[in-house]
Amino acid sequence: MKNPLPITLVTASLIAACSRDRTVSADSTAASASVGQSTAAAPASATAASVTITSPVEGATTGRDVTVTLRSEGVRIAKADGARVEGVGHYHLFLDTLPTTDSLPIPPNSSKVVHIGTGDSTYTFKGVPAGRHRIIAVIGYGSHVPMAGRRDTVDFTVKP
């Protein structure tokens, strides 16, 4: 090449122009992202909220006293206070019975329905009869109304 200067100038101009475009795009993308986050973050975290029964595990064989251990994600577990606050709730357990629908309050404690309204993540069912059983965990608001879709189910067997 006889005169590399014009090629160098054109290349430098293109690089500078592209750099400016990227800077503007990055700024506008960041601004769009922050705007999007302020309006979309709540539904995304609400959708991600879940409860998991960590013990007993699916298919386990247990003794007559069955300790249920729970874990949640995307929701803060707190004491039941009667309030309905998005993202805050407590655990409920249903032993061998179906949970209430998402719009109805969970019934009071019984041998089959347990409110863990203390904010704890464990509960022990005492003297469960031998045989196959099912536990369904539900996260409910402080008002004891279930959070939509926040459930986990485990089937297990109590040995004779």
pTM given for the model:
0.69
End-to-end CA distance of the chain: 91
Residue 155: CB partners within 8 Å, gap ≥ 6?
58, 59, 132, 133, 134
* pLDDT at residue 9 tops 80: no
* Mean pLDDT, range 137-154, rounded to an integer: 92
pLDDT digit string (tens) for 32-41? 333 333 223 3
* Mean pLDDT, range 97-108, rounded to an integer: 92
Nearest residue to 138 (alpha-carbon basis) of 154, 149, 123: 149
pLDDT at 21: 39
Residue 43 to residues 36, 79, 141, Cα–Cα distance (Å): 12, 23, 17
pLDDT at 3: 54
Place of tokens 């536990």: 135
- Rounded distance, CA 152 to CA 30, Å? 37
Kindly state the helix (H) or strand (E) to which residue 77 belongs, with its residue range: strand 76-77
Helix (H, G, I), strand (E, B) or coil at 53: strand
